[in-house]
Structure 1
Amino acid sequence: MAAFEVRGGKALRGEITPQGAKNEALQILCAVLLTPEPVTISNIPDIRDVNKLIELLRDLGVKVGKLATDTYVFQAEDVNLDYMDSPAFVAQAGALRGSVMILGPMLGRYGRCQLPKPGGDKIGRRPMDTHFLGLEKLGGKLTLEGTDFYRIKAEGKLQGTHMLLDEASVTGTANILMAAVLAEGTTTIYNAACEPYLQQLCRMLVRMGANIQGIGSNLLTIEGVESLGGTEHRMLPDMIEIGSFIGLAAMTGSEITIKDCQIPQLGLIPDTFRKLGIQLEFRGDDIHIPAQPHYEIATYLDGSILTVSDHTWPGFTPDLLSIVLVVACQAKGTVLIHQKMFESRLFFVDKLIDMGAQIILCDPHRATVIGLDQRTRLRGITMTSPDIRAGVALLIAALSAEGKSTIENVEQIDRGYQNIDQRLTALGADIRRL
Structure 2
Amino acid sequence: MIARAVFLALALVGLPGLAESADPKAPAPATAPPPPVLPGLHPPMPPAPPPAMSGELDCRGCHQREHGGIVRMYLGTGGRGTPRMPSHMAELRVECVACHVEPKEVPGAAQIVGQTFKVGEKACLECHGEQYRGMMTRWTTTLAKMREIVDGKLAAARAAVNAAPQSPKLARLKKLLDDAEYNSRFVKLGRGAHNPFYAADLLKLANVWADDVLAAVGKPPAKVDDALVRGGYCAVLCHEQAAVKLPATVAFGKQKVPHARHVTEFGATCTACHSAETHKAVTAKPADCASCHHSPANERCESCHKPQSAFYRGAVDTKLVKVEPNSMVNAVSCAGCHDMARKHSRAAVGGKCLGCHDKSYEGFATEWTTGLDADVKKTTAAVRDAETAVQKARRAGKKTPEADALLKEARDALALVTRARGAHNPPAAEALLAAAREKAAAATRAASP
TM-score, scaled relative to structure 2 = 0.20
**Higher share in strand:** 1
TM-score, scaled relative to structure 1 = 0.20
**Higher share in helix:** 2
Q: Whose radius of gyration is greater, 1 or 2? A: 2
Structure with more relative contact order (C-alpha pairs < 8 Å, separation 6 or more): 1
